[in-house]
Chain A
Amino acid sequence: MAEWVKVGSTGGVAEGEILSFSVGERQVAVANVEGDLHAFDDWCSHQQCSLAEGDLDGTIVECPCHGSQFDVTTGEAVQGPAIDPVDVFEMREEDGELQVMMKQE
């Protein structure tokens, strides 16, 4: 089962910014890279710090705790200490809402 879940409102994430939204028991981060929105797991795969609190440089977010970097478009860890990727989610803007595709586990 997968469904679109509202996380916020259209225009709620400014360019160059990342915001974190609660979706059930997860935190989903949404980054705005030059107008394109990318949703990914907010918890760093290293020690679960919030990636939304990190700096965004192009498509790369840097974890504020220990410096791991992830590509927000793929979730890939491009710089350690994190080794594992973070989940990325499909997202869309619909009816004035920001929606992410969440799979039921």
Chain B
Amino acid sequence: MSRVVIVGGGLAAATTAGTLRDDGFDGDITLIGGEPIPPYERPPLSKEYLRGDETEPQWVRPPDWYAQNAIDARLGVRVERLLATERVVELEGGERVPFDQAVIATGVRNRRLPIPGIDLAGVLDLRSVPDADAIREEASGASKAVVVGMGFIGAEVASSLRQRGLDVTVVEFFATPLERVLGAELGRVIEALHRDHGVEMVFRDAAEAFEGVGRFEALVTKEGRRIEGDLAVVGVGVEPMTEVASDDLRIDNGIPVDAMLRTAVDGVWAIGDVARHDHPVFGPIRVEHFDNALRMGETVARNVQGARVVHDDPHWFWSDQYDEQIQMSGFAMSWDQTVIRGNVKDRSFAAFLLRDGQLLSTFSMNHKFDVRRSMPLIATRAHPDPGVLSDPDFDLRQLHPPKE
């Protein structure tokens, strides 16, 4: 008896189902997704799709793949509860779906600001295709947008709306864009990029209320600014969607899983944005990257089939803003040394973040090779010589550990 139930309908969920079938797994697979359409890739929603360069979602697998591969895809179905120890998923309406193994890939939802006016027409956020459609619709014909928050979503939305020709003002709580991820020094590089493209930025301030009669007209900030606009887009972080998980899964900022993606209950796994993974290099960490969802989907599919693969992927993501390619690998909470390769002023560089000589993370603009070539070094806790890191002619692959 081998019944696998995947709770979730995003990239991690679809990759799990896809990898299982690609591997020849012939048990029952049920995929239960809350959205009414098949799993799709979210990164284009703030970029190509928002700009209008693409009009179709980028499907993870072709929409007819699921039926063709005997995946029971239950789309637009809400899961009430996953009872881990009892091995059953309860759906809204009362249906019970038993399983032998379950993979939880419910993802995250956008954090909602608890402030006046958040429900006004024209105050939007971005996670799904309908969200992106709504922003596109509001943006066509609009001349000015207000963006709240300048993490990656806020920065990409600001960029895409500028490229659509709107005036954009961003309000950010920290002193630079992406300060928590990149630190202030690299954050200021992103700030300069947006300034050069005409984005107005207000730092060390926050949203207090959205005002308007019937629809959004202006954002009022904590510091007393009043910023007018035709629409507002809020990107202030996310929270993991853990409420389906039963208490035996010990929720704590996501669903805790060990290095092999196992929850506290045998045969129940959690992956993607909702999983707080005991990473072999970084320790317990919950990450919200596309690539992590994909790689965890691959790993969990192998482990569901009986392998014992430790998930040690060192994390990697990209962000396209204007014509710049931004990439980052690894993870650093804090670092004591930043080594630059290339030229920051020309926006063609890699920044290596080290602590006690160990390479933790690599960030780049238009220097993409160094980011991916850093990954084997980060995964093996390498202590590379800063002299070679700063040398643009040195190929980091020379430092890679030998292949087994």
Contacts and interface: CB of A to CB of B under 8 A. Distances in A.
Interface stretch (A5-13, A33-41, A60-68, A91-99): A60-68
A55 B369 contact: yes
Contacts of A64: 368-369, 372
A81 B18 contact: no
B373 A55 contact: yes
A66 B58 CA distance: 13
Interface in A37-72: 47, 55, 62, 64-67
A66 B372 contact: no
A21 B294 CA distance: 31
B319 to A, nearest CB: 12
Nearest to B298: A80
Nearest to A66: B318
A14 interface: no
A55 B372 contact: yes
Given A47-B58, A67-B316, A81 B294 contact: yes
Contacts of A47: 58
A23 interface: no
Nearest to A46: B58
A59 to B, nearest CB: 13
B368 A80 contact: no
Nearest to B48: A47
A80 B16 CA distance: 12
A55 B18 CA distance: 26
Interface string B240-258: 0000000000000000000
Interface string B359-384: 00000000011001100000000000
Contact of A65 (B58, B61, B318, B373): B318
Interface of B: 11, 15, 18, 41, 58, 60-61, 290-291, 294, 298, 316, 318, 325, 368-369, 372-373, 397
27 contacts: A47-B58, A55-B369, A55-B372, A55-B373, A55-B397, A62-B372, A64-B368, A64-B369, A64-B372, A65-B318, A65-B325, A66-B291, A66-B318, A67-B291, A67-B316, A67-B372, A80-B15, A80-B18, A80-B294, A80-B298, A81-B11, A81-B41, A81-B60, A81-B290, A81-B294, A83-B18, A83-B60
